[in-house]
Amino acid sequence: MNAPVPFAPGALREFLIGNPDFTVLVDAANVTTRELPDPLRSPCVTIRVPGNVGVDPMLRRPMLVINAWVPPVKITKSPLDPDEEAWNIAALAGQLIGRARNVRFRESVWSGEWKTGPVVPDPDVKRGVDSPLYRAFIAVELKLREKPAR
């Protein structure tokens, strides 16, 4: 029986929350592979997999999107514009992941490559025009290998 494909979003979450430079910007509890908290009171990061690239049928080169979400200044009380704060979070994630080589995760090893971003779309107003969420995102690609060399 084949081992399951390692859960790439979990690998990135573990990596990011293990980095003190990153958790200065985003509390570890706010780095998730799930949905955004409601209400959002401080910066949050969501990690998603929109697809896999390459020819490997075992899906070992997942493309991941790291979304940095920031509520308005009236909530965060940050001196930074929320777009800039989201940009800084996404850019740091890209820098860290892009330099990561042979990172162990469960029974696998991964290396990262920063592909695109940061991109700053228009504010998300799905929670109402009085509660915009500011976002910046990056795309990264991981190369996952099972059963790392010991």
pLDDT digits (tens, 9 = 90+) for 18-28: 999 999 999 99
Cβ–Cβ < 8 Å for 139, 112: no
Cβ–Cβ < 8 Å for 71, 96: no
Q: What is the pLDDT of residue 59?
A: 53
Length of the chain: 150
Lowest mean pLDDT among 37-51, 56-70, 96-110, 120-134: 56-70
Distance CA 2, CA 5 (A): 9
Q: Chain-wide mean pLDDT for the chain? A: 92
Q: In CATH, what is the architecture of 8-146?
A: 2-Layer Sandwich (3.30)
Q: Where are the domains positioned within the chain?
A: 8-146
Angle 8-17/82-99 helices, nearest 10 degrees? Answer: 110
Please check the confidence at residue 76 and state whether its pLDDT lies above 90. yes
The pLDDT of 8-17, averaged and rounded, is 98
Token code pair at residue 79: 């001196």
In this prediction the pTM is 0.92
Please check the confidence at residue 106 and state whether its pLDDT lies above 60. yes
